[in-house]
Copies of this chain bind each other. A is one copy, B any other.
Amino acid sequence: SMNPDLASERQTASFSVEKLTTWLDGGAEQTRLRRAVVEAIECDPVFSREDQYFQSQNERYEAAVRKAVHLQKKMQEMGWSEDGPEFKYIYRAVAGDIAFLLHRVFMRSVSMLGSDEQIAKWIPLASQYQLIGSYAQTELGHGTYLQGLETTAVFDVTTQEFILNTPKISAMKWWPGDMGRSATHTVVFAQLYVHGKCYGIHPFIVQIRSLQDHSLCPGIIAGDIGPKMNFEHIDNGYLMLQNVRVPRENMLNKFCEVQPDGTYVRRGSQKINYFTMTSVRISLISGEAVLPLMKACTIAIRYSAVRRQSKLKPGEQEAKILDYQTQQEKLLPQLAAAYAFHFINDYLQELFDRGYRDIQRKNFDTLPELHALSSGFKGMVTQCCTSGVEICLRACGGHGYSLLSGLPSLYTKIIASCIYEGENTILLLQTARFLIKCFMAASTGQSVPPSVTYLAAAKPGNCPAKNKLDFLHPDIYTEAYQHVAVRLISSTAAKLQDLIQSGVKKHDAWNRCTVQLVQAAKAHCHYITVKNFVETVEKIETKAGIQKVMKDLCDLFALYGIFSNTGVFLHDGYISGAQMDMVTASYLDLLAIIRKDAVPLVDAFDFTDKSLNSALGSYDGQVYQRLYEWAQKSPTNKQISPAYGKYLKPLLHNRLSKL
């Protein structure tokens, strides 16, 4: 049965939830397809996540392998293919708890970095699971800085083999997924040496386990790196290589080759590698950051409409916690951010698709911009979504802290997105480097990529808002964001130049500006996000109800950003103290407005109860009943703990002997 408090939230929606869902999906056909995939996966008991919160690391690994193997069968059964329209919904539906994701990266790297012969040899083997692949790049002592990797591959002319070695403990491969227990093969990145000369990092296909009995191959030491905050389903592994020999043909050689006599030949453009990273960073934004935030918002907002605590008015019943301003101020900006980042993901995808078409025509011009945007947005979005999920967790009080709420596992998983595929601070600094370069170019009149033309067009003057309603004009706030981005970029560029002119060495000057450079990069991404949200709202052609509520959300996102970063707007007086009070007033007013539609706005994300896997977030709002039922299933209630017989009984028995 439906909780009446939650039911009443849905009766007053100012828009059609189904229409909003369809619009977010990009059309009714997409919605239909997504639901069909989710339905097919969720009705299959192999994919059930019912026991997830009670499983050990070993059990989760086993379930993930089972799911991965079963998924192959399922896809054949359903007629789904890797390049079919359903594909993007499959991993969303299994909600990540599946093995062999690195097998896919293995295949992608062979396809990208291998010659035609290599592709012809390895891809069929991999796609038919005649091997299980992994991707061994990161080392115990080396992450983002690839040039620092220490694994070596020395070419032996006499045997036409590469001899791979882990020269010291910090060179051990560490973290690669699917490698701890599953993989039979992996792509190892190592420093190539030929005739004593180092040619830098190259990829080699190395077999690590027997195809017969899965035992480790000679010279291989490998295993699981142990427990982590989450990702228990993945066997992140370590790998040590001791004089492991692979044939010359196992170096992936699309871009460079070692010939039989040891001659090193480089060929083609490596820019495409650059593009691969960009592609991965953009592709993780939606699935690994925005979707988890949407789920967390759904759970926390539904719960806040059911949970009652204290009285708002004397004599009345206890109030829904969603009616408290402080609770609204925690959750509703996260809801607005989830929408904002969903739209920025569309923007990045479009830019990426355009870039991809250019690259196929051998035009690499858009790469620097695409690289800068993908780095910056990966950094900004994963960071904001991570804090958003944490806010949702804490906003649910004690019950949010129970694994059964679903929030702890969302949090412990999303926090990893701030680190993998490029640590966020380093990524934001890459964006900053691009911005400084473009700012310099723009100030000397050179042309710059479209997303940064605003750097040249900066207008002087202050914010023209006269009352709190003026801050609901998108022009007003978009210009404020633009002004701040320009100011932070230009002032940091000036500091950098001043330092260099005063004799500080370039790299040192850069290091001394990095705290401010990160701020500038964030301001740039924030500005683009606000601008893109505004443009998205303007383009809405569906029923007015949706445009109105999206406009409110857009305003909320923009004003929250000002309210929570007042300093950068006040710094040079662009926004005055009096105007900031207007921002605050408008912002707080918006909370009360969005609050009315909060539940329908999360309903529109269209998550099934199974995909939320949360005792607090289900559609029917029966939170207490579900917490109680789910707790029964815990292994802690399945048996009398040995602690009783061993420790409690003797302790309490003392009493009997004393009586």
Contacts and interface: CB of A to CB of B under 8 A. Distances in A.
B415 A397 contact: no
A108 B652 CA distance: 20
B229 A401 contact: yes
A325 to B, nearest CB: 5
B397 A419 contact: yes
A418 interface: yes
A131 B651 CA distance: 9
Interface in A605-659: 624-625, 627-628, 630-637, 640-644, 646-652, 654-656, 658
A432 to B, nearest CB: 11
Nearest to A570: B570
Interface in A392-431: 393-394, 397-398, 400-404, 408, 412, 415-416, 418-420, 423, 425, 429
A310 B148 contact: yes
Contacts of A416: 401
A225 B631 contact: yes
A175 interface: yes
A69 interface: yes
Interface stretch (A53-61, A87-95, A285-293): A53-61
Interface stretch (A8-16, A180-188, A343-351, A449-457): A180-188
A324 B429 CA distance: 12
A62 interface: yes
Interface string A103-139: 0000000000000000000000100111110000010
A65 interface: yes
Contact of A314 (B182, B224, B507): B507
B235 A647 contact: no
A329 interface: yes
A170 interface: yes
Given A415-B401, A625-B169, A308 B648 contact: no
A403 B514 CA distance: 30
A574 to B, nearest CB: 10
A565 to B, nearest CB: 7
Contacts of A420: 398
Interface residues of A, number: 131
B227 A309 contact: no
A20 B581 CA distance: 46
A625 B169 CA distance: 7
Nearest to A428: B326
A572 interface: yes
Contacts of A131: 652, 655
A226 B57 contact: no
A313 B655 CA distance: 71
Contact of A397 (B423, B565, B584): B423
A505 interface: yes
A182 B225 contact: no
Given A507-B314, A571-B566, A62 B226 contact: no
Contacts of A140: 624, 627-628
A238 interface: yes
Contact of A580 (B170, B313, B571, B651): B571
A548 interface: no
A16 B567 CA distance: 39
A568 interface: yes
Interface string A227-240: 11100000100100
Contacts of A647: 62, 65-66, 68-69
A651 B133 CA distance: 13
B403 A214 contact: no
Contacts of A175: 398
A187 B316 CA distance: 29
A537 interface: no
Given A310-B148, A394-B415, A402-B225, A635 B572 contact: no
Nearest to A99: B643
Contact of A631 (B66, B224, B329, B644): B224
A171 to B, nearest CB: 9
A393 B518 CA distance: 19
A211 B655 contact: yes
Contact of A635 (B57, B229, B634, B644): B57
The 9 closest A-B pairs by CB, nearest first: A566-B567, A226-B634, A130-B655, A224-B636, A567-B567, A570-B570, A227-B403, A65-B643, A145-B310
10 contacts: A65-B648, A132-B652, A144-B310, A181-B636, A226-B636, A325-B513, A397-B419, A401-B415, A401-B419, A516-B584
